């Protein structure tokens, strides 16, 4: 079974279409838990051809579109970005969601200027515990205060249930998310081809302790990394 690249997110207060596009290699590409960078390519024609097929499935039914790729929106080729813009105009999209790695934070205005519609920028912080984020997960994201993140990004992705995480770390992460950001996505970590492993007992505790988050308008919870309806095994 290949990668599914289009879906409709209906079980969320923020109903939206979502597309998983192909792109150039991730600018960072060193996260210890990530094997999804195998979906990247250096063949621009192949990337654009794939993205054209995916974007053709967008209908504009929710007037909101989330664009993700195995990296940052800045790694999507210019031709594909124009296709996204054409799709936005054609289907009267009024809200966009894009993901970007921390190092691109000073360039987000370029995306805003290009699309000229409201954009929620998302970044994968994974955890606000600096040691775990950078020493274990190898994110390469350093900041002194959460206000630095909030200045650029309206939404963050958190990961829950990794061996080495603690309940206190997770409680703190969720508290920071709920009090500082417009929106967030919480991913329960799923074992993959990397050496980073899930802590299933911790995940079960999270499911019970934070069951109330299912009713939150601020948070989407992914119990599996394909719960948004996109993704799947990459072809290596």
pLDDT digits (tens, 9 = 90+) for 184-195: 999 999 999 999
Instruction: Report the alpha-carbon distance of residue 213 to residue 187 in Å, rounded.
Output: 13
**Domains of the chain (ranges plus CATH)?**
6-222 (3.20.20.70)
Percent share of the chain, pLDDT over 90: 86
Predicted confidence (pLDDT) at residue 235 exceeds the cutoff of 90: no
Q: What is the pTM of this model?
A: 0.94
Predicted confidence (pLDDT) at residue 150 exceeds the cutoff of 60: yes
Crossing angle between the packed helical segments 167-180 and 200-209, to the nearest 10 degrees: 40
pLDDT digits (tens, 9 = 90+) for 98-109: 999 999 999 999
pLDDT digits (tens, 9 = 90+) for 49-86: 999 999 999 999 999 999 999 899 999 999 999 999 99
Instruction: Report the alpha-carbon distance of residue 34 to residue 137 in Å, rounded.
Output: 9
Helix (H) or strand (E) holding 117: none
125: nearest Cα among 167, 173, 166, 168: 173
Parallel, antiparallel, or unpaired for β 16-21 and 6-9? Answer: antiparallel
Instruction: Report the alpha-carbon distance of residue 20 to residue 5 in Å, rounded.
Output: 5
């Amino acid at each position: 079974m290949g990668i599914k690249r289009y879906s409709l997110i209906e079980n969320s207060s923020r109903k939206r279409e979502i597309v998983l596009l192909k792109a150039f290699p991730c600018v960072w590409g060193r996260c210890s838990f990530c094997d999804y960078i195998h979906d990247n390519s250096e063949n621009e024609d192949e990337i654009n051809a794939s993205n054209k097929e995916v974007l053709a499935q967008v209908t504009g039914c929710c007037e909101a579109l989330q664009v993700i790729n195995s990296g940052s929106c800045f790694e999507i080729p210019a031709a594909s970005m124009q296709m996204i813009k054409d799709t936005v105009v054609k289907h009267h999209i009024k809200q966009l969601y894009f993901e970007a790695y921390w190092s691109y934070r000073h360039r987000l205005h370029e995306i805003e200027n290009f699309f000229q519609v409201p954009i929620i920028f998302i970044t994968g912080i994974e955890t606000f515990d600096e040691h775990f984020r950078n020493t274990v997960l190898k994110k390469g994201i350093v900041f002194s205060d959460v206000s630095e993140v909030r200045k650029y990004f309206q939404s963050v992705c958190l990961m829950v249930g990794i061996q080495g995480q603690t309940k206190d770390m997770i409680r703190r992460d969720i508290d920071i998310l709920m009090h500082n950001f417009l929106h967030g996505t919480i991913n329960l970590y799923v074992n993959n081809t990397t050496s980073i492993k899930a802590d299933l007992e911790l995940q079960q505790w999270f499911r019970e302790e934070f069951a109330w988050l299912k009713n939150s308008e601020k948070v989407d919870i992914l119990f599996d990394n394909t719960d948004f309806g996109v993704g799947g095994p990459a072809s290596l």
